[in-house]
Amino acid sequence: MDKSIYTAMSGAVRTLTAQSTVSNNLANASTVGFRAELAMAKTAPLDGAGLPTRVASTFGGAAFDPSAGTLMTTERPLDVAVRGNGWIAVQDGNGETAYTRNGELQIDALGQLMTNRGELVLGEGGPVAIPPNESVTIGDDGTISVIPQGQGAVVQATVDRIRVDAVQPQDMRRGDDGLFRPVEDAAVEPVAGASLSVGTLESSNVNLAQSLVDMIALSRQFELQVKAIRSADDNAQAAAAVMRING
């Protein structure tokens, strides 16, 4: 059998992976703080006897588009957008520290500050807990202040400070849970000063128009690769028929 069938097959598999990635981006086009995934592939020359005439396609690693989404003004006091290379520290399902750009925050019945996906937001000493209050405000530096329940507006207490760390995008990896974690030996530094824009949210950075164009291009590419597989198979069958006749 012509080995080109395996070459075309590896390309088709990578194209399917790319289609899945683009589909996921389209599905998250309205997700707050979402970073578009990138479909990465690399060449893999096939070693063996004879001339090097075949190159397969393999998975090239996980990556994402680090560009920031546009800021949307909401005027909601618990909505925050992170500035620069900052990331909001949250607690993942295993109790470990992870990061997100999703600043659509809320307070549950137990007074815990969390994202709209349910991850607990971390402060200076662990998950942020909000006591019973008349109102909650978040400062640009992440400081959380409340007017205690039953108190007047002149009485304001500082509760905690949202932990915002600076990590370079190339040092971040997205997990299966959608949260980001720094690679080993990455520089993680607390952000001092104004790190948040309050009353705004960062939209997804997915380019809808480009994603739709990419999906069409990938569909055509997959069709060509399937056609190459069929052609290679037809050639193999024709060669086998000739061998049977000559035999």
Residue spans of the domains in the chain: they are 4-65+206-246, 71-202
Question: What pLDDT shows up at residue 193?
Answer: 86
- Predicted confidence at residue 51, as pLDDT, reads 62
What pLDDT sits at residue 247?
57
Q: Determine the Cα–Cα distance for residues 116 and 107; give it in Å rounded to an integer.
A: 9
Instruction: Going residue by residue through the chain, which has 247 residues, state the pLDDT in tens, using 9 for 90 and above.
Output: 466 777 788 888 888 889 999 999 999 999 999 999 988 877 777 776 766 667 777 776 778 999 999 999 999 999 999 998 899 999 999 999 999 999 999 999 999 999 999 999 999 989 999 999 889 999 999 999 999 887 777 778 999 999 999 999 999 999 989 999 999 999 999 998 889 999 999 999 999 999 999 999 999 989 998 888 888 777 777 777 777 776 5
Cite the DSSP H helix spans in the chain. 4-27, 208-246
For the chain, list the strands marked E by DSSP: 37-38, 41-45, 55-59, 63-64, 71-73, 80-82, 86-91, 97-100, 105-107, 113-115, 120-121, 133-138, 143-148, 157-161, 164-166, 172-174, 180-182, 189-190, 196-198, 200-202
Handedness of CA 146, 149, 154, 156 (dihedral sign): negative
Q: What is the pLDDT of residue 99?
A: 97
Residue-level pLDDT at 88: 97
